[in-house]
Amino acid sequence: MTTDVTTDAIPAAVATRIPGERSRGVWRTVKYVLLILFALVILLPAYVLFVTSFKGLGDATPANAWKLPESWETAGWSRAWEQLGPALGRTFAMVIPASIISSVLGSMNGFVLSKWRFPGADVVFTLILFGMFIPYQAVMVPLVQLMSNLGVPSGVPSLIVLHVVYGLPITTLIFRNYYAGVPVELVEAARVDGAGMLRTYGSIILPISAPAFVVVLMWQFTSAWNDYLFALFFSTSRNGPVTIALNFLASGQLQDYSASMAGALIASVPTLIIYILLGRYFVGGLMAGSVKG
């Protein structure tokens, strides 16, 4: 797992083979034309978002759809900020505790399921894993009932609980796969020295877990930040996260395109920053979550 796709050296001998030199040149050209074409297509929506967000109210018309703004205005951004600001704060307040708690629990589970096993560990793991795949619609009706019976307030508190609970399968999976790659001897040595389970976890496993924690925290942060389904059932536009506020802003009767587009950008900034800074780990996290380690 955590395959790093960037560091991969290709033997120079392969790249400089003589036969088929011409067809290789054609192939290279085709390849780059395709790569650039696809990149442009992928960036098209980003262009629209950016450009439209700076247009004035009269400028965001179909006729000017693909043009640059007549004058670059920030009114759309301030209208969006007004609506999304409080929701942004709530989203941080929800996402940070939710990702930390589910990561810590996932780490302990992963340790127990890979390096300090008990009879039936594989069955337990498979049963936990199933929770990752269920459509939440299949539990939503009784879940709403359960949460209100438990007295968890709507909004941030409910969403923290839900993101921790339903995050557990994936955090457990990633940590388990990560720890599976840790040499058994490390754990055995600690055991021979008379260290108990918690000592072994705290002094051997936890100190080498940083890379897995980065991946899992990023994963949990992004998925909780981008969640809309739980937010819709367990919050309102007054106490809900930024996805709710953004949808509220964008689907209003008055189609305020520049504010909606600015809002979409504002709502995406935290995850985009994380992605740009830690993108390599992100890819690693994807691998862990899908290709079995």
* Binding to other proteins in span 234-263, by CB under 8 A: 243, 246-247, 250-251, 257, 260-261, 263
Residue choice 54, 77, 219, 282 for contact with other proteins (CB under 8 A): 282
Using an 8 Å Cβ cutoff, are 227 and 166 in contact? no
Considering the complex, state which of residue 75 and residue 293 has its C-beta at the smaller distance from other proteins: 293
268 binds other proteins per the rule CB under 8 A = yes
Place of tokens 């007549």: 70
Half-sphere exposure of residue 264: CA atoms within 13 angstroms, side-chain side: 18
Q: Is 271 in the site for other proteins (CB under 8 A)?
A: yes
Residue 54 sits in the site that holds other proteins (CB under 8 A): no
Phi and psi of 113, rounded to 5°?
-85, -15
Using rule CB under 8 A, residue 181 touches other proteins? no
- Cβ–Cβ < 8 Å for 284, 270: no
Residue 292 near other proteins by CB under 8 A:
yes
120: left (phi over 0), alpha (psi -120 to 50) or beta: left
Between CA 232 and CA 242, with CA 236 as vertex, the angle to 5 degrees is: 75
Minimum distance of other proteins from residue 86's CB (angstroms): 17
Please state the closest distance from residue 99 (CB atom) to other proteins, in A: 15
The residues in 59-78 that bind other proteins, with binding defined as CB under 8 A, are 62, 65-66
Question: Does the footprint of other proteins cover residue 149 (CB under 8 A)?
Answer: no
2-31 footprint of other proteins as x/- string (CB under 8 A): -x-xx-x-xx--xx----x----------x
Which region among 93-101, 151-159, 185-193, 208-216 touches other proteins (by CB under 8 A)? Answer: 185-193
DSSP letter at 239 equals T
User: Minimal distance in Å, beta carbon 293 to other proteins?
Assistant: 11
Helix (H, G, I), strand (E, B) or coil at 67: coil
- # of chain residues touching other proteins (CB under 8 A): 107
The correct pick among 85, 89, 142, 181 for binding other proteins (CB under 8 A) is: 142
Of 81, 97, 274, 293, the one binding other proteins (CB under 8 A) is: 274
Cα-flanking dihedrals φ and ψ of residue 104, to 5°? -60, -45
216 binds other proteins (CB under 8 A): no
Structure tokens that stand for 178 in this block:
């990560």
The single residue among 79, 90, 115, 163 that binds other proteins, judged by CB under 8 A, is 115
The amino acid at 182: V
Distance of alpha carbon 31 from alpha carbon 145, whole angstroms: 55
Residues 6+ apart with CB under 8 A from 74: 54
Residues 85-114 that bind other proteins (CB under 8 A): 105, 108-109, 111-113
DSSP annotation string for 211-248:
HHHHHHHHHHHHHHHH--HHHHHH--TTT--HHHHHHH
Cβ proximity to other proteins: between 45 and 153 the closer is: 45
Choosing from 57, 92, 97, 131, the residue that interacts with other proteins (CB under 8 A) is 131
Q: How far is CA 88 from the centre of its chain?
A: 17
